[in-house]
Structure 1
Amino acid sequence: MIMDSSIKAAVKCSECGRYTSFHINLFEAKRPTSRRCSCGNIVFKVSATKGEVDIDIPCIACGETHRYKYKIKDLIDKSVNILACPVCGMEIAFLGKEYLVDDMVNRYMDDMLELLTHLGVIDKTKRWVIK
């Protein structure tokens, strides 16, 4: 049986707030790897040992770096994993099947746009920030 060990990750940058998306091959994570946002900030570190994966993510919500531990099999088998800040519960990353991760990010961004529009922070019909 051939197992696809690649998953997609989308992580909210703790510096600029943008989502950074990338693919991870979990079996190649034996070498510690990090990913950067386009602003230059490290958003994700991953390493694997003995069938387990350690993921470190700097948190936009509380400012701390959180470590998440998963079995490689669980990450591959589950459709999508939502990683939240253990302090406040804010969702800071999504891991899983590409189309589901993309869908989660799109829905999150749509919800945020709706909230900011409702609060009067932006005018989505004109696509500009209200000062």
Structure 2
Amino acid sequence: MLVNTNLALAIRCNKCGKIHTNNITLFQLKNNSYININCNCGETKARIKTENYKEYCLEIPCFACEETHIFKYSLDQLLKGNLVIRCLDGVEICFLGDETDVKELLKGQKDDFTRVIEELSFYDYFTNNDIMTKSVNKIKELEQEGSIICECGEENIGIDLFSDRIEIKCLQCNGVQIIYAESDEDFNNLLSRDYIMIHKHAVEYIDAFKFNNDR
């Protein structure tokens, strides 16, 4: 019988927040020696090692609670695959298994910030929950269209949420666009934009006040 020792791991990066699938084979693992699983942005989003080739240890810096979680699995569990790995708060942070199965698992997930907000119970945190939800969905649309760009040419963009604003940061040059999400005017300002340009090494604001002055 042919045993598939290839594993696919889909992990949301703790730094940039994006999900990418990484493929490894169990033959890569050496006893008591970690190998890193890196995001496209360069961040190490997980480490895995084997202990005596019987137990496998997976460390994941959690994007949800910002703690590092340690999970241990037997060889049999890894070979069976289809593992959904969760934070202690119940948030899904990793899918592990056969590459085809992992892709199917990801299809069933809403890859948007709205779901993350709901799962992390952030609704008591934001100044205006409705405006924040609509704003992050608009930003996600722009990102998927390739319409969030940096003057330096770098494509790795990080997105951070605060109670009253969203900060979009270039992970290469540290340029930042700060987008306020407190009022209908803030959202209408964002809605009117076809793209967001981050300027190299600069910190700039997109808000209703600036929008009205520009008009």
TM-score by shorter chain over 0.5 = yes
Runs (4+) off by over 2 Å = 112-116, 121-124, 127-131
TM superposition shift of 1:107: 2.5
TM-score (structure 1 length as normaliser): 0.82
Gaps of 5+ in 1: none
Question: How many residues end up aligned between the 2 structures?
Answer: 125
Structure 2 unmatched ranges of 5 or more:
118-129, 144-186, 191-215
Deviation at 1:23, TM superposition (A): 1.1
Indicate whether 1:57 and 2:60 are aligned: yes
- Structure 1 residue 97 displacement after superposition: 1.4
Residue in structure 2 matching 1:81, options 62, 80, 83: 83
* 1:39 alignment partner AA: C
Q: Please state which structure has a larger fraction of its residues in helix.
A: 2
Q: Distance in 2 between matches of 1:63 and 1:82?
A: 19
More strand by share: 1
Q: Does 1:105 align with 2:106?
A: yes
How far did 1:105 drift? Answer: 1.9
Question: Post-superposition shift, 1:52?
Answer: 0.9
- Provide the residue aligned with 2:39 in structure 1: 37
More displaced 10-residue stretch of structure 1: 21-30 or 65-74: 21-30
* Structure of higher RCO (CA pairs closer than 8 Å, 6+ residues apart): 1
> How far apart, CA to CA, are the structure 1 residues paired with 2:65 and 2:79?
28
TM-score, length-scaled by structure 2: 0.52
Structure 1 partner of 2:157: none
